[in-house]
């Protein structure tokens, strides 16, 4: 969940300064109210900083695979959130191959899950029951999933994705979303969350 976030850059009142605000800040507040078990990997939000195309982790608390350098995770590509997609993804480089993490509304994630194995079916059923429980409590639900990609599939996808990115047509964003759909499939469900949407201070007036 921490890896899969976008960045918003805002200029400060001082023109010679740029304040970079990570959209994960809201997730920090959400996490304080969230009581859901997701996947086994956990990273303190404060331990993350983004450097170009690499996410640096200052604490060795995230190791879903055997990595030579668990404190540095190269980001291959972000597939941004869109209101129609209701999800976003990040693909990172791992020794096992390109690894896609996807998060979004459960209505957008669940239909894209692969058929679970017999061993996974109990875990998957439990998570879906949690989603129903969170929804009944009026919480905003999110689902998290992953997929380990084959290198050939990833290379072919990126060739076509870069081509669409180079287009200047008005429907480029729609075409990019369609390309993302092609790879955001056969996902393995990792976890779910239920988040209370409280009214922000800026919305009280």
Q: Give the pLDDT score at 40.
A: 36
**What is the reported pTM?**
0.67
SS3 state of residue 185 = coil
Q: For the segment 62-120, what is each residue's pLDDT rounded down to a tens digit?
A: 344 555 555 567 889 999 888 889 999 999 998 899 999 999 999 999 999 998 877 77
**115 vs 158, which has greater pLDDT?**
158
Backbone φ and ψ for 35, nearest 5 degrees, come out as: -130, 70
Q: Give the pLDDT score at 193.
A: 87
Q: Of the segments 50-54, 62-66, 136-140, which one has the largest average pLDDT value?
A: 136-140
Q: Of the segments 6-15, 31-40, 129-138, 173-182, which one has the largest average pLDDT value?
A: 173-182
Q: Which domains does the chain have, with CATH numbers?
A: 7-203 (3.40.1110)
Q: For the chain, give the longest Cα–Cα distance.
A: 58
User: What are the C-alpha distances in Å from 11 to residues 3, 18, 19, 81, 201?
Assistant: 24, 5, 6, 22, 21
Q: Give the pLDDT score at 132.
A: 87
């Amino acid at each position: 969940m921490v890896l899969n976030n976008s960045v918003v850059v805002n200029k400060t009142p001082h023109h010679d300064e740029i304040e970079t605000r990570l959209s994960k800040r809201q997730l920090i507040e959400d996490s304080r109210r969230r009581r859901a078990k997701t996947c086994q990997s956990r990273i303190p939000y404060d331990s993350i900083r983004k450097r170009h195309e690499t996410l640096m982790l200052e604490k060795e608390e995230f190791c879903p695979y055997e990595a030579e350098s668990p404190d540095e995770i190269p980001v291959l590509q972000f597939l941004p959130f869109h209101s129609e997609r209701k999800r976003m993804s990040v693909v990172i480089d791992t020794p096992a191959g390109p690894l896609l993490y996807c998060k979004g509304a459960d209505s957008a994630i669940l239909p894209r899950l692969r058929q679970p194995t017999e061993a996974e079916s109990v875990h998957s059923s439990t998570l879906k029951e949690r989603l129903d429980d969170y929804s009944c409590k009026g919480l905003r639900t999110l689902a998290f999933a992953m997929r380990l990609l084959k290198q050939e599939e990833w290379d072919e996808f990126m060739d076509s994705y870069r081509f669409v990115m180079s287009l200047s047509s008005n429907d480029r964003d729609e075409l990019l979303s369609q390309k993302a759909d092609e790879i955001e499939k056969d996902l393995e469900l990792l976890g779910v969350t239920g988040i209370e949407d409280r009214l922000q201070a800026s919305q009280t007036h």
